[in-house]
Structure 1
Amino acid sequence: MALPAAAMAQSPRPPKIVGVRVGVDDRYKAGLWTQVEVALLGGDETLDGELSAIAPDGDGVPGRVSTPCRIQAGRETTVRLITRFGRVHGDLTVEFRSGGREPARRTFETSARADGEHFLPALEFRKLFVVVGDSDLGVEEAGKLGGAEPEHRPVVARLDDVRQLPTRWYGYEGIDAVVLSTGRPEIYRGLADDARADALDQWVQLGGRLVLCAGSRAEEALGDGSPLRRFVPGRLEKVISLRQTGALETYCGGRSGLLLSGKDRGAMRAPRLTDVRGREEVGEADLPLVVRAARGFGQVLFLAGELDEPPLAGWTDRPLLAAKLLDLPVARAEDSRKSSAMMHHGYIDMSGQMRSALDQFAGVRLAPFWLVAGLIVVYILLIGPGDFFFLRKYVGRMEWTWLTFPLVVVLASLAAYVLAHRLKGDRPRVNQINLVDVDAESGRMRGAAWLNVFSPRTESFDLSVRPRATDARPLMAWLGLPGSGLGGMDPRAAGPLLWTEGFRYAADLDALLGVPIQVWSSKSLTARWEATAAACPAAELAATDRLLSGTITNTLGFPLRKSLLAYGQSAYELGALAPGRSVRLGAMTKRSELRTLLTGRRAVLTDGDKYRRQTTPYDQSSLDLFYILRIMMFYKEAGGRRYTGLWNDYQGFVDLSDLLKAGRAILIAQGPADGDENHRGATLVNNGEPLDGPQDQHRTMYRFVFPVKEGKSGEWRVESGEKSNTLHSPLSTLHSPL
């Protein structure tokens, strides 16, 4: 026994998985890309291997994402991955494999406290704000102003170190806004040669919201060479002392004087911007205080003042200002439309309605209840009284029931199988809708696809999307169902585990490999991609007194159907735009209120000879994909949850209502009909081959974002004096690239 004992004593100590951290400051959302940090303690050897994180998808199927890594001997190594969690209260299994060695494996579970041994449950139906600074900058209190229930209030993830920020733009997918304080410029110096700054910028340009607060140290934090310089909507001239703040108080609806409240009295240090790009929402004399600037499909809100410095830090109305910058409600609104969507439809989010619409497959029918009930009655009659009377009257030998009974069962089973195949078909089906966004100023394109795949047999698929843009960089994922309904990501009871092996994410997250789909079942998927736009309609647009003028020309090689141009709160119905057709806009062009077009709002004469506004209720049961997507694209402008009775939290990036506040014009149009394969946004492929057929539903919606040269009344600015406030309209412009 001495030799085996000696051999065991000499075996090298393996690496150990010591902890895990999920999300940003341990906060993340269910069903969206999330950064995971895994801490490993090296053993006696430096090992090259593969680290995997395994988490269930929205259907409870395990999904594995892997990355190569090196574990240094005797040292702690942190490895970052990005994955998706399909359960609010789920678990995460981490594996490290190296060669033929026994893998290190550990499973982490959710808990009320994140301590490295456990991680917090995922968020649903709550805003997630990331704040970088010494405090939460009043964002926590701002989230309470709207009177929402505690389980629906915004959550603040506060960081004092930018190294905790994601290194990939899609790591921000579950984050609604990032707020940066520049009170300590030194914490941002590490971003200069770091992927985090580029990831943050890319996320903003793809639809994110960044709030940048600059005070006394603005020149140091935002000057030339600073990694944050790119986000400043203008040229930083100098930092001045501001002694009049009435405009800022009016802007956020403050009830107390900024320079007269609290212990921090005196002037406010604020940077002066010149050559402003964007809309000045508020200013004092020639000093812009709040600037809203579009950046691609996202936006930057610049505050000339530091929320973490006196006097703003001690201002009793600081939460009101934070709420204004984040577009949060500041008073309890009337209860949103009482929704019975979960009871009647099984979803409470707009994405759930889209999933339901995508689940209606051509050639796949459900057996009606009367048919099922009738067949059951016939089956019972055949195996009972029918078998008895047949044997007694025609055969005369009752013992033959040992033959006739199983024969009837087999024939009935074959008949049911044939009937099911006639109802369900024998080939996979795909329903898909694409949204293609193009920013005319930057030439950037982003795309999204939502797909449901139906399989007539139990089978595994290797799924990816093939966008039309040759330089597209796609991300492929499953689409979960928010809420606690049947199949939701927050189920009241854990369902049975149908698959143990699950599927794998491709190395670049551009494909799902080995996705299992049960017989006569469907799988919900989604994809996002970015690319350089090859073409865009030509537009020259200007606005005076908030009225658009100019021309739009369809320079694309295909028609744009049911075109609608939105600007501010107005909408222009342009109809069909054939290739080469131009539309001229002017003072006499018919326009409508955008919300009126979205909601069917109209004035109705009551019995008391008074008019009241009446809207067409949103149809929560509609299966019209374009109808659903149009509301998702302008969800806030349509009235949000008050109008629809549904959340739009899961796929909230689709809503570009905020770009209208930044002075952009948005053209939306339906693409060619389903059969036109040359103008699809993207095609779903299985093992490299298109999966859909000619009968499958494939729709594409296009949306083009144009800059507008704004004239004297294109925007309003508040300016205060010592005795009164006045409104005037500065000549800041957005430059058209056309």
Structure 2
Amino acid sequence: MILFAGKEVARVAAEDSPLSDLVPGKITGTVDQWNTSGLENYGNAQQRLFLSPEKNPLARLEVTDGRVLLRDQENAQALHPLIVRSVRGFGMVVYVAFDIDVPPLDDWDSSSRVLEKLIAVGRNAGEEDDSLAGSGVNYAGYQDLSGQLRSQLEKFESVTPVQFVWIAVLLAFFVLIIGPLDFYLLRKLDRFHWTWGTFPAAVILIAVIVVMMSHTLPADSPQMNQLHIVDIDAVTGTVRGTDYLALYSPEIDAFDVKLETKAMAQNNSIPPVEKQFVTTGWHGLPGTGLGALGRASFQTYINHEYQVDTAVTELQSIPVQHGGTKSIRSRWSGKMEVETQPELYADPISGALRGTLTNPFDFDLFEVEIVFDGKVYPIGRTFRAGESVDIFDISDQSQGVDNYYSRYQDGSSKGKRRRWSVMEESTQRIVRQMMFNQSIGGAKYTGLINRYEEFHDLSHVLSYNRAVLVARTSQGNSEYVVDGDSDVALESGKNFYRVVFKVNAAP
């Protein structure tokens, strides 16, 4: 979000204003005359900018939470911040202390360049993502991390997919039987007229093999994989969740899909969340590959209508073709109270994270790390409910984010840095890559962009006095309930939690 507040800054920063929390500091008035050299350099201006004291006041801001990206001058003489970037919840706010839509700024030749830079800063996009944006689909059929996540969720251990090489071998075997093998055998027997019988026999043999494959490779009953990611901002109590469902059916069938909260099941260990916004829809495949959202044409295999019950956020009578899959994604947001607030601060000398962290939940966390300012502090495989840890005690195990997440098993320094595989990565590794994609290396490391679900990436908060607790859990706030003609078995269910804590100044 980009917030321009110059002349009307007093109204924006008022206590009763809904935008007051977005101002990264204290407003102490306005400045009628201010130096524009910093802004001119920022916009690569070819001409000077002459402002009017009445029309172009500058908000005087004392920054208390955020990072100044631009001042009125680019030297020690600078007096006033012009552009400040700060974290709010899970996003970023770029605060601009002047109005760009009034003369002469609206007609200034460099205004467009300033806006382009502000949008790039707000989007937090990496240059490597832009470089891959126009590239074609790779051999995996997707060019976005979201596509790899969807592909991985649609893999079921009880279902053996038919490989292309199997079909190629079967065709080669068929040609071998009806060609050279049939010829040499009949010539040796001097019975060429038997080909009227050997050819149908070869066809029947191949048909039997195909029928056996079609009956033995698929699962006998519908299967589903679920993935749930919950993000909590401890400062504001804001909660958001993203839930994924991959549904497989061995036969043509229709299913009802509904997202329910665990609170309804009276699971007291899960923190209550007051959900204010819930959406459920297809988890589409981004790009222009086979079955992707960007294709200009598509083919309908099943002529079947489904219904949407908006009152309970339910998709009814969703068709799934024979041996096919269907991917669903839900997003929701709400509020909750984080009762346990850790005392975290940055070391004034080394900048390392210090303080004590207590498990904020009433259930155990697994494979726990806390990420801050480009470093990962591994807490351990199990972080029990109510347990506390002194960050200083684990600081000697800390590693850079890119180094930690690109190595084998818990980021051990003994492991070798591994390359990213666009076909074989586990769900857990894909999720953690999406969580801190830019910090781990982005598209330069994975070879995939992260546009479709970029909201998962919290790399931008790590340098703004925020620490992120990352953990896997055995339970989550939500679960999908799927009803069909046959019972749907849950093959895999994974739950991830992230909690964003504010890191205070050193005591």
Deviation string 1:488-527 (CA, Å, 9 cap, x unpaired) is 11225x2333234432222247221111000100111111
Deviation string 1:531-569 (CA, Å, 9 cap, x unpaired) is 334667642111243322111112434332222222222
Task: Return 5+ residue gaps in structure 2 as ranges.
Answer: 73-77, 186-193, 265-273, 409-415
Q: Which residue of 2 aligns with 1:582?
A: 388
Q: Which residue of 2 aligns with 1:570?
A: 375
Q: Which residue of 2 aligns with 1:299?
A: 92
Match of 1:426 among 205, 209, 220: 220
Q: Which residue of 1 aligns with 2:321?
A: 518
Match of 1:466 among 247, 257, 260: 260
Distance in 2, matches of 1:331 and 1:660, equals 16
Match of 2:479 among 680, 683, 691: 683
Letter in 2 for 1:481: L
Q: Which residue of 2 aligns with 1:269?
A: 57
Contact 1:323 1:330 in 2 (8 A): no
Summarize the alignment of residues 70-85 of structure 1 with structure 2, pairs less than 5 Å apart.
Answer: none
After TM superposition, the score normalised by the length of structure 1 is 0.55
Q: Which residue of 2 aligns with 1:154?
A: none
Q: Which residue of 2 aligns with 1:21?
A: none
Does residue 530 of the first structure (1) align with residue 326 of the second (2)?
A: no
Q: Which residue of 2 aligns with 1:659?
A: 461
Summarize the alignment of residues 107-506 of structure 1 with structure 2, pairs less than 5 Å apart.
Answer: 210-220=1-11, 223=14, 225-245=16-36, 252=42, 254-256=43-45, 261-262=48-49, 264=51, 268-273=56-61, 276-282=64-70, 287-310=80-103, 312-313=105-106, 315-328=108-121, 336=131, 342-367=137-162, 416-417=210-211, 419-469=213-263, 471-472=274-275, 473-491=277-295, 494-506=297-309
Contact 1:337 1:643 in 2 (8 A): no
Distance in 2, matches of 1:496 and 1:588, equals 55
What secondary structure is seen at the aligned counterpart in 1 of 2:159?
coil
Q: Which residue of 2 aligns with 1:176?
A: none
Q: Which residue of 2 aligns with 1:136?
A: none
What secondary structure is seen at the aligned counterpart in 1 of 2:455?
helix
Contact 1:264 1:314 in 2 (8 A): no
Q: 1:457 to 1:589 in 2, by over 3 A?
A: same
Does residue 556 of the first structure (1) align with residue 383 of the second (2)?
A: no
Q: 1:575 to 1:531 in 2, by over 3 A?
A: same
Q: Which residue of 2 aligns with 1:592?
A: 399
Distance in 2, matches of 1:414 and 1:633, equals 47
Distance in 1, matches of 2:418 and 2:444, equals 13
Q: 1:227 to 1:345 in 2, by over 3 A?
A: same
Farther-moved stretch of structure 1 (539-548 vs 680-689): 680-689
Q: Which residue of 1 aligns with 2:496?
A: 701
Does residue 643 of the first structure (1) align with residue 437 of the second (2)?
A: no
Q: Which residue of 2 aligns with 1:621?
A: 423
Contact 1:469 1:532 in 2 (8 A): no
Q: Which residue of 2 aligns with 1:547?
A: 352
Q: Which residue of 2 aligns with 1:725?
A: none
Q: 1:286 to 1:332 in 2, by over 3 A?
A: closer
Contact 2:304 2:319 in 1 (8 A): no
Of all paired residues, the percent bearing the same amino acid is 29
Distance in 2, matches of 1:255 and 1:549, equals 41
What secondary structure is seen at the aligned counterpart in 2 of 1:596?
helix
What secondary structure is seen at the aligned counterpart in 2 of 1:344?
coil
Query: What displacement does 1:352 show?
Result: 0.8
Query: What displacement does 1:584 show?
Result: 1.1
Query: What displacement does 1:578 show?
Result: 2.4
Distance in 2, matches of 1:233 and 1:371, equals 61
Q: Which residue of 2 aligns with 1:74?
A: none
Letter in 2 for 1:452: A
Deviation string 1:364-415 (CA, Å, 9 cap, x unpaired) is 0124567656767579979xx99xx9xxxxxxxx9xx9xxx89x96x98677
Q: 1:274 to 1:458 in 2, by over 3 A?
A: same
Q: 1:562 to 1:339 in 2, by over 3 A?
A: farther
Contact 2:255 2:484 in 1 (8 A): no
Query: What displacement does 1:439 show?
Result: 1.1
Distance in 1, matches of 2:167 and 2:50, equals 76
Query: What displacement does 1:459 show?
Result: 0.6
Query: What displacement does 1:341 show?
Result: 7.7
Farther-moved stretch of structure 1 (653-662 vs 217-226): 217-226
Distance in 2, matches of 1:226 and 1:381, equals 81
Distance in 2, matches of 1:217 and 1:521, equals 57
Q: Which residue of 2 aligns with 1:199?
A: none
What secondary structure is seen at the aligned counterpart in 1 of 2:342?
strand
Contact 1:350 1:648 in 2 (8 A): yes
Q: 1:295 to 1:373 in 2, by over 3 A?
A: closer
Letter in 1 for 2:293: M
Count residues in correspondence. 462
Q: 1:231 to 1:555 in 2, by over 3 A?
A: closer
Letter in 2 for 1:272: R
Query: What displacement does 1:451 show?
Result: 2.2
Letter in 2 for 1:269: P
Query: What displacement does 1:453 show?
Result: 0.8
Deviation string 1:181-236 (CA, Å, 9 cap, x unpaired) is xxxxxxxxxxxxxxxxxxxxxxxxxxxxx111012233355546555445334454
Letter in 2 for 1:682: S
Q: 1:367 to 1:497 in 2, by over 3 A?
A: closer
What secondary structure is seen at the aligned counterpart in 2 of 1:488?
coil
Query: What displacement does 1:595 show?
Result: 2.9
Q: 1:304 to 1:378 in 2, by over 3 A?
A: closer
Query: What displacement does 1:274 show?
Result: 5.2
Contact 1:559 1:576 in 2 (8 A): no
Distance in 2, matches of 1:240 and 1:314, equals 22
What secondary structure is seen at the aligned counterpart in 2 of 1:495?
coil
Distance in 2, matches of 1:417 and 1:581, equals 56
Instruction: Between the two structures, name the one with larger relative contact order (CA 8 Å, sep ≥ 6).
Output: 2
Contact 2:129 2:450 in 1 (8 A): no
What secondary structure is seen at the aligned counterpart in 1 of 2:395?
coil
Q: 1:640 to 1:509 in 2, by over 3 A?
A: farther
Deviation string 1:650-709 (CA, Å, 9 cap, x unpaired) is 11111112222432111112223xxxxxx1343221249996535x12212221100111
Letter in 1 for 2:292: G
Q: 1:671 to 1:543 in 2, by over 3 A?
A: same
Contact 2:32 2:53 in 1 (8 A): no
Letter in 1 for 2:88: R
Distance in 2, matches of 1:692 and 1:549, equals 47
Distance in 1, matches of 2:40 and 2:380, equals 44
Deviation string 1:273-307 (CA, Å, 9 cap, x unpaired) is 45844444455667443333322222322111112
Distance in 2, matches of 1:508 and 1:233, equals 38
